[in-house]
Amino acid sequence: MTATVTSTDLLSHARRLAADPAHWPSTLHFDTADRWYTRLTDAGGHEAWLLTWLPGQQTGWHDHGGSAGAFLVVAGQLREDTVGGSRLLTSGTGRRFGSQHVHRVVNDGMQPAISIHVYSPALTSMTRYEQVGGSLVRLAVERAGADW
């Protein structure tokens, strides 16, 4: 499925991808060591990723290197933490975010979770942060093709 996606309809694109699992990898994988992920699309100025999460797995604090994005929980539940608070997203729910968004996503549920993440433009870097007190401290910048 290749389409031009604008930053305003990233969540809609995630919903279209979720509705068409025939275009997903043939077998989802749940890795006990880390979240599993695979790229679903990379065209039209955007990219989409499919992720699986076992209970307790998380992203750590990060940004998206200047890309706007959206993610949709396809199955299970995920919690998104921001400096301003937390929100629980259950199956079928998602959220959009702007290019300066910093968050952490966690599967703190009892069941595995599946999510689809769409970014525009495609990710070139992500900055990792650590929460110290109530502030985020920059740790490292990861680069596409080198660190993931």
In this predicted model, what pLDDT tens digit does every residue of 32-65 receive, in sequence order? Answer: 999 999 999 998 889 999 999 999 999 999 999 9
In DSSP notation, the chain reads ------GGGHHHHHHHHHT-GGGS-SS----SSS-EEEEEEEETTEEEEEEEE-TT-B--EE--TT-EEEEEEEESEEEEEETTEEEEEETT-EEEE-TT--BEEE--SSS-EEEEEEEES---EEEEEEEETTEEEEEEEEETTTT-
Instruction: List binding-site positions for Fe cation.
Output: 62, 64, 103
Instruction: List binding-site positions.
Output: 62, 64, 103
Q: In which band, very low, low, confident or very high, does the pLDDT at 98 lie, cut at 50, 70 and 90?
A: very high
Through-space distance between the first and last CA atoms of the chain, rounded to whole angstroms: 23
Fold of 7-143: Jelly Rolls (2.60.120)
What was the pLDDT predicted at 26? Answer: 81
Domain ranges of the chain: 7-143
- In tens, the pLDDT along 57-78 reads 999 999 999 999 999 999 999 9
User: Is pLDDT at 5 greater than 60 in this prediction?
Assistant: no
Q: Averaged over 85-110, what is the pLDDT?
A: 97
User: Is pLDDT at 3 greater than 80 in this prediction?
Assistant: no
Instruction: Report pTM.
Output: 0.92
Q: In which band, very low, low, confident or very high, does the pLDDT at 23 lie, cut at 50, 70 and 90?
A: confident
What was the pLDDT predicted at 38? Answer: 94
**pLDDT exceeding 90 applies to what percent of the chain?**
84
Beta bridge partners of 58: 106
- What rounded mean pLDDT belongs to the chain? 93
